Amino acid sequence: MRTKITAAVGVVALALPVANAAAAAKKKVVTVTKTVTGPEAVADRWGYVEVALVIKKTTTTVGTHKTVKRTIVKVKAPIYPNHTDRSVFINQQAIPLLTQEVLTTTKFNPNIELVGGATATSYAFQQSLQAALLQAKKI
């Protein structure tokens, strides 16, 4: 995650023009702040990540000479599903809350009659496992 933010910042930094300091009598300064959003990037564990940067652009005009300076004021990186989804679950009252547990591993036991799933298992394994389970229960 940090690497992605750094990379996004790096890309923007390269695009920034070099600012020149200028000293003179008549000076006009205009400042504009804008938010730019990077493309959605697929991250490994956290899902889609979209980085937003708040840019401050300062235009300094001295007589006929104009310089522009841009700085990154803030980096915003909403991370799914870590902190955003919790507020979504609570705020959207029309949607019922989901219960949350930690993934555990359970062994097959004699109570299991059917096996459901869609993992990297061959159908042959599924089918023979299922048939064996049913035979064990003498159905």
Partner 1 sequence: MGMGIVVATRDRDVPEDVFDWFRHVDDTFSTYKEDSEVSRIRRGELTVDGASEEVRRVLGRCAELREETSGFFDIAVVDGDPSGYVKGWSVDEAAALLDRAGVQEYAINAGGDIRVRGTWRIGIQHPLDPQSLAKEVEGTDVAVATSGAYERGDHVRDPHSRHAPAGILSVTITGPDLGTADAYATAAFAMGGHRAPNWTAQLNGYEAMTILADGRVLSTPGFPSA
User: By the criterion CB under 8 A, which residues form the site for partner 1?
Assistant: 42-48, 80-81, 84-85, 88-89, 92, 94-108, 111-121, 123-127, 130-131, 134, 139
Output the CA–CA distances (angstroms, integers) from residue 138 to 85, 128, 133, in the order listed: 46, 15, 9
Q: Measured from the CB of residue 53, what is the shortest distance to partner 1 in angstroms?
A: 21
Q: Measured from the CB of residue 77, what is the shortest distance to partner 1 in angstroms?
A: 13
Residue 43 vs 68, nearer CB to partner 1: 43
Q: Measured from the CB of residue 97, what is the shortest distance to partner 1 in angstroms?
A: 7
Residue 2 vs 45, nearer CB to partner 1: 45
Contacts 24+ apart (CB under 8 A), 28-32: 28/60, 28/61, 28/62, 29/58, 29/59, 29/60, 29/61, 30/58, 30/59, 30/61, 31/56, 31/57, 31/58, 31/59, 32/56, 32/57, 32/59
Residue 64 vs 100, nearer CB to partner 1: 100
Q: Measured from the CB of residue 44, what is the shortest distance to partner 1 in angstroms?
A: 7
Residue 26 vs 45, nearer CB to partner 1: 45
CB 126 within 8 A of CB 115: yes
**Beta bridge partner(s), residue 79:** 49
